[in-house]
Amino acid sequence: MKILWILLYCFLLFLNAFGLACGRNVTYDGRSLIISGQHKMLFSGSIHYPRSTPEMWPSLIAKAKEGGLDVIQTYVFWNLHEPQLGQYDFSGRRDLVKFIKEIHAHGLYACLRIGPFIESEWSYGGLPLWLHDIPGIVYRSDNKPFKLHMERFTKKIVDMMKSEKLYASQGGPIILSQIENEYKNVEADFHEKGPPYVRWAAKMAVGLQTGVPWIMCKQDDAPDPVINTCNGMRCGQTFAGPNSPNKPSLWTENWTSFYQTYGEEPYLRSVEDIAFHVALFIAKKGGSYVNYYMYHGGTNFGRTASEYVITSYYDEAPLDEYGLIRQPKWGHLKELHAAIKLCSKPLLSGRLTNLSLGGKQEAYIFKGNSGECAAFLVNLDNKRDVKVLFQNVSYELPRKSISILPDCKTPVFNTAKISTQYNTRSVTSRRTFDSIEKWEEHKEVIPSIHKTSLRANSFLEQMSTTKGTSDYLWYTFRFPNPDQTAQSVLNVHSNGHVLQAFINGDFVGSAHGSHQNKSLSLEKNVTLRTGPNYISLLSAMVGLPDAGAHLERRAAGLTRVRVHGKDFTNQRWGYQVGLLGERRQIYTDLGSSKIQWSRYGSSRHQRLTWYKTIFDEPPGNDPVALNMGSMGKGEAWVNGQSIGRYWVSFLTSQGSPSQTRYNVPRSFLKPRENLLVLLEEEIGYPLGISLDTISRTKVCGLVSESHLPPVCSWTRHDQSEEICQINSGRGPQVQLQCPPNTTISKISFASFGTPFGDCESQILGTCHSSNSRATVEKECLGKSKCSIIVASHTFGDDPCPGIPKSLLVDAQCK
């Protein structure tokens, strides 16, 4: 009999393996996605392959999986893959197939958002700029030329995925695909051409027969069978729901922070708020798929960021720009995922009822036919904690929080109570670049009209002239001054982002716009010489637009120029696309070797100067960054690869730069003699730059006796469907964990009692156990991770009976 069971078991394993090889059926109903016949509760995270490096992908995906994610979601970047019509590039950071295969190798699903318009704070919203030159084209409309190229690229990506067998229907990881992106935001601008375009896009996508569902985000009239999904921070409150009872509630973008633009402070979104709205979406909207945008933001390398967006992208995500775990955001969400997974059966098969528990309190109860039950107790009051009575039991709910009861009895998680550790990013300066002898410089030539070959009798539009090859376009003209009057006024208006004005090669003034006010004007008193004066105006873009209707109509560059009261708009103009240093690629080893460099400081400082130096890779494996705090505005290259634009001189309302440190991936570096080249548009000070390494070596925990035990200590009993602890008697805990290859080397602070402060600063309260430090040191020193139960017996006695107590620990890893 035992042999028969063994044979049957082996046969079932074979069938399972055969099924995976042959593909998984992905469908859906009104409750959730259905994969291989099973309803799924799925947590997803956005990780964009070109905003990191292939060397980082395995670690990022592994950390996402450890954080409780089931799916990795990514856009596809059309202008990255087809920079010129018919010329494709899927190498290096562009290797989409390799990225999807890496997701598969980690046992996760993938959601492929093809778009191909994506917005995403990416240059031109992901559209290739060559589209602008297609006669008669109107982007994202019922327009034959645009639909032709959109379908061609979409099919290209789908066929590529099919050829590699990457759709779930073929045994791959892709369970969802997206067509278009937040089109409802602009649909009205296209009038009668909008709705048929939506219907066409849906029909075209479905006709590609991927074997998995398609979605449209923020498109409440998405045609069947395409699923409409929600984007935003509060989809539990704002989502109108699926447009069919047979479609599930999916949340494709839950913003973990927000993108940042130059001159603006970062937007910080608390993990308590994120967790609250995830739980509310699942409870109130029957949500079964939540994607965090971003889970890892990464870096806008090169000139890929859209207008005014900084190089660092969503650094406040659960995985920061460098791929390091940000706590408590990562850990608290991991606990949330585990708590909701304990409720999976009643959530996916049970019946929902709603019960009022007070003026701003309510319960969402899911009951299954087999007795399983899960409840979400919600306190919508954001000003006060409350006690509620649910099924004759009293529960405490902190302000604006949700408690999750997987058996309708036992609270295992509250969105406002953080039990996971905190950590802090540490910066170590590995070397400074303060030696004059190590720097060389090369001054960019300021062109005049007689040295330009491109001429026109009016202003040329900047984006269609540069065609995305450079941020810069020179506008030059000759102004004859027959008068003896030396003083005059130069007045310039522009739809560019930055303007620098030169007369006879000398700098006379500059101006810039902002993300909120994209046009600019410059008015300067200038000195002219008698006879011909050569005026050179450099218009710069800080990224291309990425949002709004009719991108093909957006214009940049100069709109009016007046000198001495005379309008020169229809003057004979000479143009130069880009800078000479860009053309010569002097940021590469080869290009640099062909340039005559000068010793740093050998002549007076000038705007538009290139700087060059050599450095060795810092030891270790910690991420590397350049501190550019002493520079103004420009771009930086390491070994020929652009690490992005910098704009340190554009200060926020608080008087600080939006970004000073710039990510240098280890894969960009060689052990020795790395080439660093800077293009400084203003007057920077390269001797103040430093090369830093980034780590998270400070960890901290603050947990009270009223906190819940870790969610991982709970399990669902197979027969009774009740929740029980794996190890009975375990209470709330401070849990500390160091980064890989480090251990806890020092306990900087420890107090069980009533300590004051947080993980930034701490002081003892009136109640303090004298055994606090010794107890924590015994449990934690020399270990990579440790946990301390927050209870009086852990510390030998109760330092203040009857008073609620907490444990605050601050530790260093080494």
Partners of 423 in the β-ladder: 699
From the number of C-beta atoms within 10 Å of its C-beta (0-12, 13-18, 19+), residue 94 rates as: middle
Report whether 394 contacts 388 (CB < 8 A): yes
Tokens of 636: 């930086």
Specify the residue for token string 């991108």: 551
Roughly how many angstroms between the first and final C-alpha of the chain, as a whole number? Answer: 56
Over its C-alpha atoms, the chain yields an Rg (Å, rounded) of: 30
Question: Is the link from the previous residue into 618 a cis peptide, with omega within 30 of 0?
Answer: no
Nearest-angstrom CA–CA distance, 475 and 540: 11
Specify the residue for token string 């959530």: 347
What letter would DSSP give residue 192?
Answer: G
Q: Outline where DSSP puts E strands in 194-328.
A: 214-217, 227-232, 249-255, 287-296
| Greatest Cα pair distance in the chain | 113
Specify the residue for token string 């010794």: 774
182 tagged catalytic? yes
Nearest-angstrom CA–CA distance, 430 and 52: 23
Q: Outline where DSSP puts E strands in 628-784.
A: 633-638, 641-647, 661-664, 674-680, 690-704, 714-716, 723-725, 733-737, 744-753, 756-757, 762-763
Nearest-angstrom CA–CA distance, 233 and 226: 23
From the number of C-beta atoms within 10 Å of its C-beta (0-12, 13-18, 19+), residue 4 rates as: exposed
Specify the residue for token string 């730059």: 689
Residue 171 neighbours by CB under 8 Å, 6+ apart: 20, 21, 22, 23, 24, 165
**What are the CA-CA distances from residue 154 to residues 116, 202, 496, 790 (Å)?**
7, 12, 32, 55
What letter would DSSP give residue 603?
Answer: S
Would you give the distance in Å from CA 92 to the centre of its chain?
A: 20
Catalytic hit among 187, 253, 321, 552: 253
Tokens of 532: 């011909």
Question: Is the link from the previous residue into 294 a cis peptide, with omega within 30 of 0?
Answer: yes
CA angle 737, 742, 747 (to 5 degrees): 60
Tokens of 325: 């775990």
Report whether 811 contacts 700 (CB < 8 A): yes
Q: Determine the number of helices (DSSP H) and then strands (DSSP E) in the chain.
A: 14, 46
Virtual CA dihedral for 13, 17, 19, 24, nearest 10 degrees?
Answer: 120
Residue 664 neighbours by CB under 8 Å, 6+ apart: 624, 625, 626, 638, 643, 691
The closest alpha carbon to 622, from 737, 735, 742, belongs to 742
Tally Cβ neighbours within 10 Å of residue 135. Answer: 5
Catalytic hit among 182, 316, 444, 681: 182
The closest alpha carbon to 201, from 180, 227, 224, belongs to 180
253 tagged catalytic? yes
Nearest-angstrom CA–CA distance, 778 and 752: 15
- Active site residues per annotation: 182, 253
